[in-house]
Amino acid sequence: MKQRALMLLCLAALSWPAAAAPQDTGAVTTDEAQWTQALGLPPLAPTRQVVTALPQVQAARAGMDGALAREQGLQAGVHEWTLRLAGNQRSETGGTNYVESEVALERSIRWGGKARTDRALGEAGVSAARSGYADTWHEAVRSLLQGWYDWQRARSAARVQAQQSALAQEQLDIAARRVRAGDVPRIDELMAQAERDRMQAQQQQTLGQEAVLLAELQKRFPGLDLGEQVSAATATTPQMLQLADEAPQWVQRILDDNHEIELAEAEVGLARLKSERAGQDRSADPLLGVRAARERGGAENIVGAYVSIPLTGSFRASEQRVALAELAAAEQRLLQTRQRVEAAAQGVVLRATHALATWQRLAAVEQAMARVAQMGMKAYSLGEMTLTEALQSRRGALEAALAAEAARWDALETVARLLVDAHRLWAAEEAGH
């Protein structure tokens, strides 16, 4: 009943319509929690905290804070008030000496729509920073998935080899018993012992790989909950993860809300605004000021206003050409990003489909080879098969079991990657908090 309930939950989740994708992704949903069990993933809420604390994610969040501060600065403008104070000593030949003073307050002003463009630049910068944060989060989760499933593959292989080592020990016990009974020559026991030792050596090698992968996972993702998640995933079958929708629908879901494309689009928008701003800068900002002066010891008092207009040259024109070239480059990067993301989306959907089919076939092969190996061991114990034939069937069973377990975790990883790319699992917080 438990396996049937899990199967129904998985099929229901995979059959979600595209419009049902959650927009606010900061909270852990029931569907996400169900997927962690079906896919053998670490717990969602603690894992989100681990991803949030990663240096690259924190750096992207700091980038958002910087973009917000930059937006405020662009709204205020780069020009500031300047206060000028001056004091003079006037001396007349043969006459009186006078103390004179002057005070002025001045500031350049943005004109020609520059303030509007600066405000748009600030908003576009914040949008780009948010897309960059979400993209960084997404890449961090992808990296976590790869490291997690690499470790699970090694763990699974070690368990299979441990089981096969135990069976090899049984084979050795049977051979030793038949040698003592005089049914088979001594060489059978030596061959069975060598086979057991070979399997134990393979198991030890895999355990070493598992330890390396685990240490790397712990180092790259400190605090990750490494509790037992495999037991739930072992109840998952290929049929439970069959995609309910067609591949083009999944590809479109990935493309409809893709942070890489959004970031590239935001960068094009920024480049376009910068080129517009560079064109506006070809007309320099005027400086306006007011002044008050006291001359001839107060005998003359002056109040006035003045305007200063810089005369622009070729430098500003070259800056506009640079901005236009950067805009053209950003547009080409956007095209490249769309092509790459679309190809990657098609690839992840196809890999998920084929991985599930491969797992299903190899699982059937594993069961068949396990029965052959079991029959071979029994046949050898009864003297109906040579040890060489029995060992060959045992090796075939081991290879089939390892291939089936690798296919299991490959399929689980590809489905998890598909859900992550479609923002159905471990999606980034839109506001970055």
With a CB cutoff of 8 Å and minimum separation 6, the contacts of 28 are 44, 45, 48
Residue 68 has pLDDT above 90, yes or no: yes
Residue 240 has pLDDT above 80, yes or no: no
Lowest mean pLDDT segment, chosen from 9-23, 304-318, 358-372, 390-404: 9-23
Residue 26 has pLDDT above 70, yes or no: no
Identify the DSSP state of 221.
S
CA dist 147 to 152, 208, 327, Å? 9, 16, 37
What's the farthest any 2 CA atoms get from each other in the chain? 141
Asked if residues 393 and 373 have their Cβ atoms less than 8 Å apart, the reply is yes
Give, for 100, the enclosing helix (H) or strand (E): strand 97-108
CATH number at residue 417: 1.20.1600.10
Residue 70 included in any domain: yes
Q: How far apart are CA 101 and CA 91, in angstroms?
A: 14
Query: Which residue has 């780069």 as its token pair?
Result: 78
Return the structure tokens found at 412: 């689980």
Provide mean pLDDT across the span 396-408: 86
Lowest mean pLDDT segment, chosen from 235-239, 289-293, 346-350: 235-239
Provide mean pLDDT across the span 60-79: 91
Integer-rounded Cα radius of gyration of the chain = 36
What pLDDT score was predicted for residue 256?
Answer: 87
Asked if residues 240 and 6 have their Cβ atoms less than 8 Å apart, the reply is yes
Query: Which residue has 């699982």 as its token pair?
Result: 363
What pLDDT score was predicted for residue 229?
Answer: 54
Provide mean pLDDT across the span 121-149: 93
CB-CB neighbours of 368 under 10 Å = 13
What pLDDT score was predicted for residue 231?
Answer: 53
Return the structure tokens found at 395: 């090796």
What pLDDT score was predicted for residue 164?
Answer: 82
User: Buried b / exposed e across 103-132, counting CB within 10 Å, b at 16+?
Assistant: ebebebebeeebeebbebbbbbbbbbbbbb
CA dist 396 to 204, 368, 379, Å? 20, 10, 16
Residue 12 has pLDDT above 60, yes or no: no
What pLDDT score was predicted for residue 244?
Answer: 65
Encoded amino acid at 2, one letter: K
- 106: β partners: 82, 289
Residue 184's Cβ-count burial label (10 Å; 0-12, 13-18, 19+) is: buried
Residue 178 included in any domain: yes
Residue 237 included in any domain: yes
Q: How far apart are CA 233 and CA 6, in angstroms?
A: 10
Provide mean pLDDT across the span 152-160: 89
Name the 3-class secondary structure at 113: coil
Percent of the chain with pLDDT over 70: 89
Residue 289 included in any domain: no
What is the edge-to-edge ordering of all strands in the sheet holding 82-91?
82-91, 97-108, 287-295, 300-308
What pLDDT score was predicted for residue 360?
Answer: 86
CB-CB neighbours of 336 under 10 Å = 11
Lowest mean pLDDT segment, chosen from 22-31, 59-68, 357-366, 422-431: 22-31
Provide mean pLDDT across the span 43-66: 92
Query: Which residue has 């690839």 as its token pair?
Result: 347
Give, for 309, the enclosing helix (H) or strand (E): none
Mean pLDDT of the chain: 83
| Number of domains composing the chain | 1
Asked if residues 122 and 72 have their Cβ atoms less than 8 Å apart, the reply is yes
Nearest partner of 226 among 139, 159, 137, 148, judged by Cα: 148
Residue 59 included in any domain: yes
Name the 3-class secondary structure at 227: coil
Provide mean pLDDT across the span 32-56: 86
What pLDDT score was predicted for residue 245?
Answer: 65
Residue 105 included in any domain: no
Provide mean pLDDT across the span 214-238: 77
pTM over 0.85, yes/no: no
Residue 6 has pLDDT above 50, yes or no: no
Provide mean pLDDT across the span 28-57: 82
Return the structure tokens found at 340: 């790459």
Domain that holds residue 396: 2-78+116-284+309-421
Name the 3-class secondary structure at 307: strand
Nearest partner of 341 among 402, 422, 268, judged by Cα: 422
Residue 210 included in any domain: yes
Name the more confident of 167 and 302: 302
Name the more confident of 4 and 367: 367
Residue 90 included in any domain: no
